[in-house]
Amino acid sequence: MKAFFVSRIAAFRYAFQGWEYVLRTQRNAWIHALATTCVVGLALWLALPARDWAVLVLVIALVWSAEFFNTAIEAIVDLASPTYHRLAKVGKDVAAAAVLIAAGSAVLVGLLLLGPPLLLKLNALFVG
């Protein structure tokens, strides 16, 4: 039983090392971090209901997961094909496109969930 828990602790440590690697090496991860911080802050200010929070958490996780998978695919492709290869480029480009799709979807969900209550709040602040 002890070995099980020790291996689980190691697994978490490896996962956090991967997270740290993405934040340290991927410039787009900082854009995602800034967007995540802004969206969470705005959602807190708007006091969104729990269902809207659930959707926001899902799309935020989708974008971060796509970025992590993209980073993993890029590393594996670089290992397997250190010199230029057309298919290596395709693999990297498709992985990047997955991040773009996830981020675009997150923007649309954010506009749908945050837009109406934001307009109401701004209207109340500035119009009276």
Letter string b/e over residues 86-99, b meaning 16 or more CB atoms within 10 A of that residue's CB: eebeebbeebbebb
Check residue 50 and give its pLDDT: 98
Residue 59 lies in a domain: yes
Residue 43 lies in a domain: yes
Check residue 48 and give its pLDDT: 98
- How many structural domains does the chain have? 1
Residue 3 lies in a domain: no
CATH code: domain of residue 92: 1.10.287.3610
Check residue 27 and give its pLDDT: 94
- pLDDT > 70 in the chain, percent: 99
Contact 37, 45 (CB under 8 A): no
> pTM for the complete prediction?
0.91
- Residue 93 structural domain: 29-126
* Residue range 35-75, pLDDT digits in tens: 999 999 999 999 999 999 999 999 999 999 999 999 999 99
C-alpha span between 66 and 63 (Å, rounded): 5
Residue 9 lies in a domain: no
Average pLDDT, the chain: 96
- pLDDT of 128 > 80? The answer is no
Question: What's the mean pLDDT in 96-115?
Answer: 98
Active site residues: 67
C-alpha span between 93 and 87 (Å, rounded): 10
Check residue 127 and give its pLDDT: 86
- pLDDT of 2 > 90? The answer is no
Check residue 21 and give its pLDDT: 97
